[in-house]
Amino acid sequence: MRFIIDTFAKVFDFIEAYWESNWNNRLIGNIIVFTFLISIILIHFNIIGLIPQPLSSIISLNYFEAIEVAFVLLLFFEIQSLVIVLPKSFGGSLVKQFEILSLILLRSAFKEFKYIKEPLDWYNISDNIYHMMSDALGAILIFGGILILIKLQKHRNFTENEKEMNRFISIKKVLSLSLIFIFIYLTFDSILWFLGHKETTNFFAKFYTVLIFSDIFIVLVSLRYSFSYIVLFRNSGLAFTTVMIRIALTSPVYIDTIIGVSAVFFAILLTYIYSSYSLESKQKKLEDKIS
């Protein structure tokens, strides 16, 4: 079993090294920009009637859809980054989840533009403006919460046994490798449903459901190495935050902002209490050694 875990962990290390390389970062940026420009061109050609059937039926007639395409592609890459960062830190993974949520809210704000039609009369666009402001406000509040979380977080191993810690990290790498395959499967499944002109489910909400189970799995595996109530509560609390994010993704406008901001506030409070306790405990151990 250890041989299998170590083998898959090495495969993940190879993928991680490639993903975090400067070459790959530039490639991703180029893909997003190129896709955005191509989307605008295709939409324009469809508007003037140069796209034949059946392609014209799956290409929008609204230029703002190009922004939607670019944001969806960006979110796909962000989710891949989330999977890559998962073995490094539970807290770091949560920060990445909030980053994705904030981008999804911003995407929702941009989506409202395509529902605004001429003439620009307040009574016709007021609902759209309220929706945009709600999602944008939620995104900026979560952005601020992310910065606070990063400042509060202090990475500490829950076990002083280096061998056990490395084993735990290897298990998380295997889990992350599994999540990559699940991500690929869900991506192709969504594409097939879209090409079949069928209503697709919320891809991001579906993947966050998988993340909930993966977080719970990590919490349970961590019990093999530490039965500390403080660590268990902190990790379980962070897993609960993932549940809140998942609910926010499928909630109606206004409610998604309330739940998303509540989730980041809960994570900040949990991290602050845990970090304060850890610092106090460390100081006490130091004083005991001195005395």
pLDDT (0 to 100) of residue 198: 56
Q: What tokens does 124 get? A: 């016709």
Q: With contact defined as beta carbons under 8 Å apart, do 232 and 211 qualify?
A: no
Q: What tokens does 56 get? A: 């014209």
Q: Does 33 score more than 50 pLDDT?
A: yes
Mean pLDDT, to the nearest integer, of 14-31? 91
pLDDT (0 to 100) of residue 159: 65
pLDDT (0 to 100) of residue 147: 95
Provide the pLDDT confidence category of residue 204 given band limits of 50, 70 and 90: confident
Q: With contact defined as beta carbons under 8 Å apart, do 215 and 92 qualify?
A: no
d(CA 158, CA 150): 19
Predicted TM-score (pTM) of this structure: 0.82
pLDDT (0 to 100) of residue 125: 73
Provide the pLDDT confidence category of residue 291 given band limits of 50, 70 and 90: very low
pLDDT (0 to 100) of residue 47: 87
Q: With contact defined as beta carbons under 8 Å apart, do 171 and 214 qualify?
A: no
Share of the chain above pLDDT 70, in %: 87
Mean pLDDT, to the nearest integer, of 174-178? 92
Domain holding 135, by residue range, is: 2-290
What's the whole-number average pLDDT of the chain? 84
CA atoms within 13 A on the CB side of 239: 18
Task: Kindly report, residue by residue over 125-156, the tens digit of the pLDDT.
Answer: 777 788 889 999 999 999 999 999 999 887 66
Q: With contact defined as beta carbons under 8 Å apart, do 61 and 43 qualify?
A: yes
Using the Cα atoms of residue 66, residue 67, residue 71 and residue 74 in order, give the sign of their dihedral. Answer: positive
Long-range CB pairs of 208-212 (<8 Å, 24+ gap) are 208/97, 208/242, 208/245, 208/246, 208/249, 209/246, 210/179, 210/182, 210/186, 211/82, 211/97, 211/179, 211/242, 211/246, 212/239, 212/242, 212/243, 212/246
**86 secondary structure, DSSP code:** T
Mean pLDDT, to the nearest integer, of 49-58? 81
Alpha-helical segments (H) within the chain: 2-19, 22-47, 65-85, 90-111, 122-152, 162-195, 203-222, 229-249, 255-290
Of 45-49, 101-105, 123-127, 277-281, the range with the lowest mean pLDDT is 277-281
pLDDT (0 to 100) of residue 136: 93
- Residue by residue, what is the 3-state secondary structure of 18-63? HHCCHHHHHHHHHHHHHHHHHHHHHHHHHHCCCCCCCHHHHCCCCC
Q: Does 96 score more than 60 pLDDT?
A: yes
pLDDT (0 to 100) of residue 194: 64
pLDDT (0 to 100) of residue 179: 92
Number of domains in the chain: 1
Mean pLDDT, to the nearest integer, of 176-192? 87
What separation in angstroms does the CA of 14 have from each of 6, 10, 92, 173?
A: 13, 6, 20, 11
Provide the pLDDT confidence category of residue 261 given band limits of 50, 70 and 90: very high
Q: Does 227 score more than 80 pLDDT?
A: no
Q: Does 172 score more than 80 pLDDT?
A: yes
Provide the pLDDT confidence category of residue 263 given band limits of 50, 70 and 90: very high
Q: With contact defined as beta carbons under 8 Å apart, do 202 and 250 qualify?
A: yes
